[in-house]
């Protein structure tokens, strides 16, 4: 494997990690900056919307506001580089599984997640003058679980 390919793999992996951190931290400006000007995201399988990155960032901000804690774990990343205009490595496709525990605000600090979901991401990236950017993100939610709550603790 060539050094340039290794460097591209690391850069693409960093974009995917930055995506997860931006969503978990609610940093919607950083989220938007990860996308190309024509970048789109599709969250319909998780009950969301599909649209341009800025529009989707607004929807995510509202939808995720009730959750004080969010923690994307994006694993099993498969990276494939593609060809654009007869050059190699101008595009990348990443398929990765995710696990996402979330806890509602005002949960009393139990630490246990109120909602856990999992599925698969499909990321499409493009090499730009600014580096690798997301052109497309598609979420395929495969499962969702809301753990049962036990009886409320009585303050002692």
**CA–CA gap between residue 12 and residue 18 (Å, rounded):** 10
Q: What is the pLDDT of residues 94-130, one digit of tens each?
A: 999 999 999 988 756 566 778 999 999 999 999 999 9
Strands 73-84 and 67-70: unpaired
Beta-bridged to residue 126, according to DSSP, are 91, 133
Give the DSSP letter of residue 1. Answer: -
Instruction: Give the highest mean pLDDT range of 16-25, 111-120, 145-154.
Output: 16-25
The first and second tokens of residue 4, run together, are 């340039």
Q: What is the pLDDT of residue 156?
A: 43
**pLDDT above 50 for 152:** no
Between the alpha carbon of residue 70 and those of residues 20, 105, 114, the distances in Å are 10, 11, 10
pLDDT of residue 108: 61
Q: Report the pLDDT value the prediction gives residue 154, as an integer from 0 to 100.
A: 43
Which residues, in sequence order, are bridge partners of residue 141? 119
- Residue ranges per domain, the chain? 3-145
Task: End-to-end CA distance of the chain: give it in Å, rounded.
Answer: 62
User: Is residue 145 very low, low, confident or very high in pLDDT (cuts 50, 70, 90)?
Assistant: very high
β-pair type (131-145, 35-42): parallel
CATH code of 3-145, in short, is 3.10.450.50
pTM of the model: 0.87
* Residue predicted with more confidence, 90 or 125: 125
Q: How far is CA 116 from the centre of its chain?
A: 15
CA distances from 78 to 9, 121, 146 (A): 10, 11, 29
**Chain mean pLDDT for the chain:** 89
Question: Could you tell me which residues are beta bridge partners of residue 70?
Answer: 102
Task: Determine the Cα–Cα distance for residues 142 and 144; give it in Å rounded to an integer.
Answer: 7
């Amino acid at each position: 494997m060539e050094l340039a390919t290794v460097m591209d793999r690391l850069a693409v992996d960093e974009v995917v990690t930055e995506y997860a951190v931006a969503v978990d931290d609610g940093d919607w400006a950083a989220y938007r900056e990860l996308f190309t000007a024509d970048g789109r995201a599709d969250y319909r399988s998780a009950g969301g919307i599909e649209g341009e990155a800025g529009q989707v960032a607004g929807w995510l901000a509202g939808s995720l506001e009730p959750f004080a804690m969010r923690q994307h774990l994006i694993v099993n990343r498969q990276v494939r580089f593609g060809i654009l205009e007869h050059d190699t490595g101008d595009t990348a496709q990443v398929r990765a599984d995710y696990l996402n525990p979330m806890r509602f605000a005002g949960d009393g600090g139990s630490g246990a997640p109120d909602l856990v979901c999992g599925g698969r991401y499909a990321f499409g990236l493009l090499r730009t003058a600014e580096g690798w950017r997301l052109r497309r993100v598609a979420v395929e939610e495969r499962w969702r679980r809301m753990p049962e709550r036990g009886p409320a603790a009585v303050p002692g």
